[in-house]
Amino acid sequence: DTGVSQDPRHKITKRGQNVTFRCDPISEHNRLYWYRQTLGQGPEFLTYFQNEAQLEKSRLLSDRFSAERPKGSFSTLEIQRTEQGDSAMYLCASVGGTDTQYFGPGTRLTVL
């Protein structure tokens, strides 16, 4: 069990550019969640996968956001045409046989 990993840890981009983040869950965890955390706030749910199926999406997930989990292993979160309001920490969590979510270290996005 190597824990949840995320890449990159930090990303600085210019407004209007596209960015993609990757999450590798704990091996054999079939559920994977993405959250967004802004400064001084708790994480807010974005989307959730069970295996390769995306089962739930938050209203926060505008059409500029897309997430995938091919083959039910790692997941990617892409943001197109980034805006300054997208600046946040993007957190990934995975769940196995219990209801406990294990979080990765996060990707901090700064949009200039």
Q: Tell me which residues touch other proteins (CB under 8 A).
A: 4, 6, 31, 33, 35, 40-45, 48, 50, 56, 91, 93, 95, 98-106, 108
Pick between residue 90 and residue 111 the one whose CB is nearest to other proteins: 90
**In the complex, least distance from residue 28 CB atom to other proteins, rounded to whole angstroms:** 15
DSSP H or E stretch at residue 10: strand 10-13
Q: Residue 80 or 108: which CB sits closer to other proteins?
A: 108
Distance, CA of 13 to CA of 77 (rounded, Å): 15
Give 19 or 49: the residue with its C-beta nearer to other proteins: 49
Residue 19 structure tokens: 């960015």
Smallest gap from Cβ 33 to other proteins, in A, equals 6
Q: What are phi and psi of 52, to 5 degrees?
A: -90, -5
- Are 65 and 4 in contact by the 8 Å Cβ rule? The answer is no
- Least separation in angstroms between residue 63's CB and other proteins is 20
The neighbour count for residue 97, using CB atoms within 10 Å, is 9
